[in-house]
Amino acid sequence: MADSRAVNGRLSGRRRKRPSAADKIYPMLLVAFGCICLTVTGSWHVYTDPLLGGGRKLFDAFSASVSLWSDSHSPAEDAEDADSSGGQQNSPQGGESPGAEEAPDDQQNTQPDGSQNEQPDEPDTGREDETEPEEPKGVSYQTVEDDYFADAVFIGDSRTVGLFEYGGLEETGTFYASTGLTVHKLFTNKIVPVPGQKKKKITVEEALSQNQFAKVYLMIGINEMGTGTPESFLEKYAECVKHIQELQPDAVIYLQSIMSVTGERSEQGDYITNEGIDIRNEGIAAMADNERIFYLDVNEAVCDETGAMIPDYTHDGVHLKAQYISLWKDYLKCHAVALDDSP
Amino acid sequence: MVFSSIEFLLFFLPIFFILYGLTPNRCKNVTLLAGSLVFYTLGERRYLPLLVVSVAVNYFVGRFLGAGVKDKRVNDKNKNYSKVKYKNQNGRGYELRYRERNRREWRKAVLFFALMGNLGTLLIFKSHAAEEALPLGLSFYTFQIASYLIDVCRGDVPAERSFFKFAVYITMFPKLVSGPLVSYGEVSEALDNRRMSWRNVQHGLKLFTLGLAAKVLLADRIGLLWNDVQVRGFESISTPLAWMGALAFSLKIYFDFGGYSLMAMGLGGMMGFSLPDNFKTPYMARSVRDFYRRWHITLGRWFCDYVYIPLGGNRRGELCTVRNLLIVWALTGLWHGGRGNFLLWGILLWMLIVVERQMQAFLERHPVGGESIWKQLSIFPHLYLWAVIPVTWMCFAITDVRELAVYLGRMFGAVPQQIVLRNDWSRALQTYGELFGLCFLACTPMVRRIYRRCRDSIVMDVALAVLFWICVWRIMAEGNNPFMYTNF
C-alpha cells in the first residue's frame, strides 16, 4: 500500500523535528479509549486476573515453554485448562453458584443424590427409587405420525434449531429454540417470536405460560460444558425441568439426551468431550420419573457403537447435517410414550 | 498466537512495543528477535526447534554462498592487478581460474542441496501432516529462506554477516506466520538502520487497526454464513444459497488474509520496516490474470522470480509460456496444501488464465471498432470475475473432492437437492444482507482512498480508536476463538 511509504523511516527522516503532539495523538487515544472500553464493559479482569490469580498461570506457561519437548499441547490450551479447572473455584461465569457446587464435595458425578440433597424443594415423586429400577420398569413406546407433534413444543439450542429448519415440523410443531441457549438463560432469553409482531420477542417462560402443550421436548446442555461442573449443570437442569412442569402441568416432558459429538471433535482438546456429555446424560436420565417425565436417548439414532456421533452425519462434529436430521426425528416418532390414560 | 486475539492485542502488543521502544537503537534487533521467538513459542512451541535449526543452518549456508560471490567481486576489481601479477605465471593463473570455476560449481551444488533440504522439509510436512499439524508459518519462512539463498547465490544481495540480523529477517514476528514474503533486499537496509518514531508508530497502529477491523468485523462475521452452509450439509442447500456461501467464503478469505497482511504491515511500520503490500483491491480486477496480480502479490512475485522467469517466462513462444504457467500454478496449488483439491484449484486457474491470454491475443489481432471490447463493456469483466472467482475459491475451500463435486453441482443445479429449507437464501440474505453490502464497499478502493485523505485528521484518529476497541470488545464477546464458533 502506498501508506507504507509514509510508515517507512524515510518520511520521518526528512522532517528532522521533535515529535509533535499530533504524532502521539493516536496511541494516546487508543489508551484512553481502552480505559473507557474496559471500564464500561467491566473487562478489567482481563488484566487483573493474570496479575492476581494467574501469576501461577503465567508461571505455568513459562515453565511449559521451557520444557519444550515435554508434551505436545500448546500454551493456549494450557491457559484454557487452567481456566476450566480454575473455573470451579473462581471463574466469573460460574460465580453464581460456586457455593452450592463445592458443598457436596463428592465428585462421583453419576449420583445425582448428592446434589439432590442440596435442593430440599425438589419433591419429584419417588425419584430416588426410580433411578435404579428404571430399566426393569420399562416404558412402552409407540410409533406415531407427524401430527403427534402438533401439540408439542421443542425447546433447545442450535441443534433443535436444525430440527426446526430441516425436520419438516416447521408447520406442525412449536419451537422455542435459539442458538447458544443454555439452562442458565433458558427462561430469561427473549427468543420466542410473537406471531403478528415482527420484531418483538418474548422469553420461553412467558411463552410457556401463555400456551399449553401436551408434550415438551427438551434438548439442551452442550453450550454449558465450558462453564461450571456436571453437578452445577444438572442442578440447574433439574430446576428448569421443574419449572417447565409447573408451567405445563398437563404435559408429558421428554428429556432428550445431549447428543454426543464425533470422536474427532471430542478429542479436539477443548471442553466438549463425549465423557462430559455421558456424565451429564446419566444425570438427566436419572431425572425421569417415567410417569410424566421421560428420558429419550437420542444417541441411539445417530451414534456408532463407541457412543460417538457418526462422522458422515456432520460437518463440524456437533450438528447433524440437514439430510440426517430425519434420523433424529424418526427416533422421536418411534418413541412416543404410550400413557395409560391416553386413549 | 494470532494478531486478533486478546493475548496479542492487550498483552503482547503493548508490552513488546514498550520494551522495544525503551531498547537503545543498537540492541533493537535483539529485542525484536526475542519478541519474535516468544511470539512463535506462544503460538506453537512444538516446532520452535525446527525454526531455530532452520535459521541456524541456513545462516551458514548463506555465508558459504555469499563468500563465493564476494571473492568473485574482489577478483573482478583486481583483475588488472592480478593479470599483471600472474602475467608470466600462466600455470598459476589457470589454476586460479580453475579453482574459481570449481568453487562456482560447489556453490551451485550447495544451493541445490540447501533448497532441496528446505523445500523437501516443507513438502514432507505438506504431504504427511494433516492441515492442522503443519508447523506454524513453515510455508512462509521456508520460502523466504529459499529466496534469500537464491538471491545470495545469484549475487543480487550480499550474504548477511550478522547472525542476529539474519535471524531477525526470518523470524520477524509481524510476517512470520503468514507473510508477506519479504525478500532480503527489501529489508536489509532497515535491519541495519531504522527509526522508530512516534510518527511511524502512529501510522503503523492505524494500519493495524484497519486490518484488525477487516478481520474481526468483516471476515469473521461473513465467515459465519460459510460455516452455516457447511453445517447444513451441501446436499441440503438451494442453488442461490450455494452461491451466497461461495461469495461469503470469497469475502471471508480476502478480509481475513488481507486484514492479516495489513496488520503485518502496520506492525512492521511501527518498527520502521516497510513491508510490501500483499493485496491491491483484488476484487476490482477485470480478469483472473489481473486478480492474481493483486492477490497475495508477494507469493506471485516469488513464483515469478524463482520459477516462471528462470523457466523462460513468456519469451520462448506461446507453448512454452503455457507450460511455464502450468508449472507455476501447479506449484502454487501444492504450496497451499498437499491435497488434490488445491491442485485442482491451481489447474483451474491455469486454464482460466490461458484462455484469457488467448482471448486477449485474439482481440488484439482483431480489434473491434478501434477500442478493445473489454473496455467498451466495462461492467462485464467485473461480472465475469465475480462469477468465476467464487467457483475457484470453492475448489480451494472444500478439501474433500467428493464434497466439492456436490457443492459445485449444487451451484449449477446439477446435483439434486435433498432436503432444502424453503427460501433458505432469503433468510440468509435477511441476516447477512447488510454485511454483504458492507463487504462489497470495503472491496472497492474507496475505503483506502478515504483513509489516505483523512489519515491525519483528528476525526479519523477518534474513529479508528473506537474501531479498535469495538474489535477488542467483539473478540472478548466471541470468546477469543479464531473460528468464533463457541456457541451451538
3-state secondary structure A282-319: HHHHHCCCCCCEEEECCHHHHECCCCCECHHHECCCCC
pTM beyond 0.90, yes or no: no
Distance, CA of A204 to CA of A220 (rounded, Å): 14
For residue A177, give the CATH number of its domain: 3.40.50.1110
Chain A residues near residue B397 by CB distance under 8 angstroms: none
Q: Which of B199, B269, B488 sits opposite A4 (nearest CB)?
A: B269
Distance, CA of B306 to CA of B142 (rounded, Å): 14
State residue B126's pLDDT score. Answer: 80
Contact A236, A184 (CB under 8 A): yes
Q: Which of B41, B198, B462 sits opposite A23 (nearest CB)?
A: B198
pLDDT in tens, A18-40: 667 777 888 888 888 888 888 88
Residues within 8 A of A (CB atoms), B 253-292 only = 262, 265-266, 268-270, 272-277, 280
Distance, CA of B460 to CA of B479 (rounded, Å): 29
Q: Which residue of B has its CA nearest to A40?
A: B473
State residue B52's pLDDT score. Answer: 93
Task: Establish if B485 touches chain A: CB-CB under 8 angstroms.
Answer: yes
Chain B residues near residue A179 by CB distance under 8 angstroms: 487-488
Handedness of CA A263, A269, A275, A280 (dihedral sign): negative
Please determine, for residue B116, whether its predicted confidence score (pLDDT) is greater than 70.
Answer: yes
**Nearest CA to CA, how far is A186 from chain B (Å)?**
14
State residue B385's pLDDT score. Answer: 92
Alpha helices in B366-400 (DSSP H): 373-376, 379-397
Q: Which of B18, B202, B263 to substitute to test the interface with A, most A CBs within 10 Å?
A: B202
Task: Establish if B449 touches chain A: CB-CB under 8 angstroms.
Answer: no
Q: What is the ipTM of this complex?
A: 0.73
Residue range of the domain that includes A275? 113-337
Contact B212, B263 (CB under 8 A): yes
Q: Which of B268, B469, B488 sits opposite A179 (nearest CB)?
A: B488
Q: What percentage of chain B has pLDDT greater than the value 70? A: 89
Cell of B55: 535459521
User: In degrees to the nearest 10, what's the CA dihedral of B236, B242, B245, B246?
Assistant: 140
What is the DSSP code string of B115-161?
Answer: HHHHHHHHHHHHHHS-GGGSPTTHHHHHHHHHHHHHHHHHTSSPPP-
Long-range contacts of B73-77 (CB under 8 A, 24+ apart): B73/B155, B75/B100
Cell of B30: 535483539
- For residue B237, the tally of other CB atoms under 10 A from its CB is 28
Cell of A219: 434438548
Q: Which residue of B has its CA nearest to A268?
A: B132
Query: Vertex B299, ends B293 and B301: CA angle to 5°?
Result: 60
Given the residues B128, B203, B296, B336, the one annotated as active site: B336
pLDDT in tens, B346-382: 999 999 999 999 988 888 887 665 555 656 677 888 8
Task: Establish if B421 touches chain A: CB-CB under 8 angstroms.
Answer: yes
With b meaning 16 or more CB within 10 Å and e meaning fewer, what string describes A33-44?
bbeebbeeeebe
* List of residues 6+ apart from B90 with CB closer than 8 A: none
Please determine, for residue A193, whether its predicted confidence score (pLDDT) is greater than 90.
Answer: no
Of A42-46, B190-194, B202-206, B246-250, the poorest mean pLDDT is in: A42-46
Active site residue B336: yes
Q: Which of A41, A157, A319 sits opposite B231 (nearest CB)?
A: A319
Q: How many domains does chain A have?
A: 1
